[in-house]
Chain A
Amino acid sequence: MKKESGGSALIRALADENVDLLFGYPGGAALHIYDAIYQQDKVQHILVRHEQAAVHAADGYARATGKVGTVLVTSGPGATNAITGIATAYMDSIPLVVISGQVASHLIGTDAFQETDMMGISRPIVKHSFLIQSPEEIPEVVKKAFIIAKTGKPGPVVIDVPKDMTDPNHLFDYQYPKDIKMRSYSAPSEEEESNVDEAVSLLEKAKKPVLYAGGGIIQGNASEELKKLAKIMNAPVTNTLMGLGAFPATHENFIGMLGMHGTYEANMAMHEADLIFALGSRFDDRTTNNPQKYSLNAKKIHLDCDYGSIEKIINVDVSLNGDAKKILNQILNKIDPKNIDKASIDLWNNEILNWRETHGLNHDLLDKKFHQKQILPQQVIQSLYKSTNGKAFITSDVGQHQMFAAQYYKFDEPRKWINSGGLGTMGFGLPSAMGVKFAFPDEDVVCVTGEGSIQMCIQELSTCMQYGLPVKIINLNNRALGMVKQWQDMQYGGRYSSILYEDSLPDFVKLAESYGHVGMKVEDISELEERMDECISMKDKLVFMDVYVDPDEHVYPMLEAGGNMSEMRVSKTKKTF
């Protein structure tokens, strides 16, 4: 049996956990670990340019692959820089293991150089955290961290490693545990038959059902089961921002995303439904509008692996707590197609189609008749959709461009849409695209961003150069912090407080070129589609496509704050209430 030090045991444990990529940034407290990385070849370390990007890259990798993303940072500023990334993953329930160096045990609490209380600072934004107290416990802690990160409701786990725990001179027998005992933790499984029976009976009685599916269906790999249920019932399906791709966007039962910027028909359907079946979604405030006015006539069923999410915001008639795939299979085994009120559901689907015809999204904006002087951001997404045949991995930053991408790129498969839904982290797009591209080097990976967001992690163009990552960056450049501007237009009388910076924007083309990438600038709608094709076809180059879009375009529909799900603005001049 080969003896290991704490540092080499840590890396060997990652290899035993089948970790191939470790995103990170070195520093004093982590140097023993970095030396151990140098002396092996199973785990490849990816050097980013900022710790936040390391976490986002691991996060993108995790979202695209379904595996656990792994990060290594040093103590102090390395740890605090990682915090935004950890919070981002926590809010979206993404499995990560984040290893942070820490000052030596005897220095903890002395305000030592680069000391910060990582356990304390990360506590509210992790699923769990460990402080290594002896080098010998490292293999077991790593095993526990991976199990906790990926089972149940996934989430980030922090392992804080004081420098003396990785001392290369302290050697011990290494053994990676096959299984571990945790008396306080168990993964969710099936639901009791009686609850499933109640849910099935509500589904069979429904005349106006909506299946409202979120990120939990993607995390729980339950898309196929959801499709089967939708087919048996012929029921409309809406996805949350996090759930896009859980149900195919081009499927005839799909009624679009719901919520703040959801489609008119999806929000109307939620308001008028007589049964809402929430699947792996958590009634987030962006999807319910005012909870007191939320879908008052609907019976509600909530399936979630997290018991704590059930009845947190909206009271429900039936709760199903456990694994989405298992519970959906329990339902599929019990539901009797003969008992479903097909005739009523047909009428319901027609009602929804009528709503779509009134105020639905226009997916044909590339048609010549919509050509104006300025490029509409929606047209850019439609062009991207065409050029990539709807098959690309799309990562996004946060703002208007994120909503346009969510509305207009029709995601047909899970794990293709990668965005910071819960925390809303600007700067997420580019590093997460790197993580996806590492995992899927042969697939198109596109970061849809804005000139505000991209500047929050723009330094990663350098990482992309180092590792030759040919991601595509589509920059919807409206020369302003667009989503804030939209709110200032609508609610603050057009007083543009601190959102304008047109004269100080970099020349993105030159910037990209300075890193050895390809830069492109597009200002004319007549050349948009051709340039987009050209951009996507450069398979071995990172292309930064800077598209000047109409700075006055707003995202619609938009739920009216404090209202119910039917109260929307559908354009600058039209309201439904």
Chain B
Amino acid sequence: MSHISILMENQPGALSRVVGLFSQRGYNIDSLSVAPTNDSSLSRLTMVVKEEESVISQILKQLNKVIDVVEVQNLSDIESVSLEIAIVKLKITEKEAKKIIESAFPVVGEIINHKDEFVMIKLIGSNHEVDDFLLSLNKQKFLEVTRSGLLGMGTGENFLISESETTIEY
């Protein structure tokens, strides 16, 4: 499994070029999350891909060739932290929900909505922790889940920032 961070131009078509690289070659993206950064002209994309090492290294090279892609980082190659956010909807009482949250450790949970007989819980944890938590839920009461996909960032000086702009004159 590889965890890849991409900084790219925040414009129409950029995402489809990145995603197209995978679909064209028959590779599946396991998870994907994308949003603008503090510089609104840039989007930061994080994806998880389950492919062999040789495939990943080829993907990284091809990603670097996409004109809209500014920077690529393989988080699996550096020290990094990662986490995932999920929202689950359960058919339980608020009291039962609180009990579930208390026993959820290491996943951190919080009730974010309660309507009719349904409770929504926000969860934060590592990929596997969220997996394990969801598996532990009672299938009859567990109605829906949405997951952010794995977010990640290199530690310390492992920045993913754009190099200075190149001016090309011809």
Contacts and interface: CB of A to CB of B under 8 A. Distances in A.
A337 to B, nearest CB: 35
B60 to A, nearest CB: 9
A67 interface: no
Given A148-B67, A308-B64, A182 B165 contact: yes
Contacts of B9: 184
B170 A147 contact: yes
A180 B24 CA distance: 31
Interface size class of A (residues with CB under 8 A): 20 to 34
Contact of A308 (B62, B67, B68): B62
B63 to A, nearest CB: 9
A186 B17 CA distance: 18
A523 interface: no
Contact of A124 (B20, B58, B163, B166): B20
Nearest to A151: B168
Interface size class of B (residues with CB under 8 A): 20 to 34
Nearest to B23: A124
Nearest to A315: B54
Contact of A128 (B58, B67, B167): B67
B8 interface: yes
B16 interface: yes
A179 B67 contact: no
A311 B24 contact: no
Nearest to A130: B13
Nearest to B12: A131
Given A127-B67, A183-B166, A308 B61 contact: yes
Contact of A180 (B61, B164, B167): B167
Interface in A125-151: 127-129, 131, 146-148, 151
Given A183-B163, A311-B57, A312-B58, A123 B170 contact: no
Contacts of A131: 12-13
B169 interface: yes
Contacts of A306: 65
A45 B163 CA distance: 41
A181 B65 contact: no
Complex A-B, nearest 4 residue pairs according to Cβ-Cβ distance, in ascending order: A179-B169, A308-B61, A183-B165, A184-B70
11 contacts: A128-B67, A179-B167, A179-B169, A179-B170, A182-B165, A183-B163, A184-B8, A310-B61, A311-B57, A312-B58, A312-B61
